[in-house]
């Protein structure tokens, strides 16, 4: 397996890890807040690109939440209905953790692609 395939496999595994169903026996202490608290609210998120939107959907579904779109939403707009403590203390931090890992892996992937095309980076000149 070459370096590009290895990074792609790591990205795939991160999406799998993000989508693992959260069960009471394997949750962290912060996740005990999955009990209903306060009133249900709709949280709206505008994702910068498709992979962020997909990752958010995977994380939501791992907690038993169903993200949705409203009829007039743009393609990258998403919503989830949940209790504020669940969104603020559990869902959003989990999404940000997985996002940071995937962003790091995508940077590694781009570095590998550039190295494959330009094995000697000294030859590559980038004009600004």
Per-residue confidence of the chain (128 residues) as pLDDT tens digits? 788 899 999 999 999 999 888 754 445 555 555 666 789 999 999 999 999 999 999 999 999 999 999 999 999 999 999 999 999 999 999 999 999 999 999 999 998 888 888 887 766 666 55
Range of the domain at 30: 3-123
**pTM for the structure as a whole:** 0.79
The alpha helices in 2-62, defined as continuous H runs, are 3-18, 50-62
For the chain, the domain total comes to 1
Closest listed residue to residue 60, CA positions, set 33, 42, 40, 87: 87
CA-based R_g, the chain, Å: 18
Closest listed residue to residue 44, CA positions, set 72, 67, 25, 71: 67
Q: Give a yes or no: residue 96 inside a domain.
A: yes
Q: Give a yes or no: residue 128 inside a domain.
A: no
């Amino acid at each position: 397996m070459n370096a590009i395939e290895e990074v792609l496999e790591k990205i795939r595994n991160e999406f799998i890890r993000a989508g693992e169903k959260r069960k009471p026996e394997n949750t962290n202490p912060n996740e005990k807040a999955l009990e209903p608290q306060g009133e249900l609210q709709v949280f709206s998120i505008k994702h910068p690109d498709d992979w962020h939107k997909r990752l958010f959907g995977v994380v939501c579904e791992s907690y038993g939440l169903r993200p949705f779109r409203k009829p007039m939403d743009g393609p990258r707009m998403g919503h989830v209905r949940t209790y504020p403590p669940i969104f603020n203390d559990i869902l959003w931090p989990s999404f940000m953790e997985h996002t940071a890992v995937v962003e790091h892996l995508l940077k590694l992937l781009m570095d590998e692609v550039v190295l494959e095309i330009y094995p000697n980076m000294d030859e590559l000149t980038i004009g600004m």
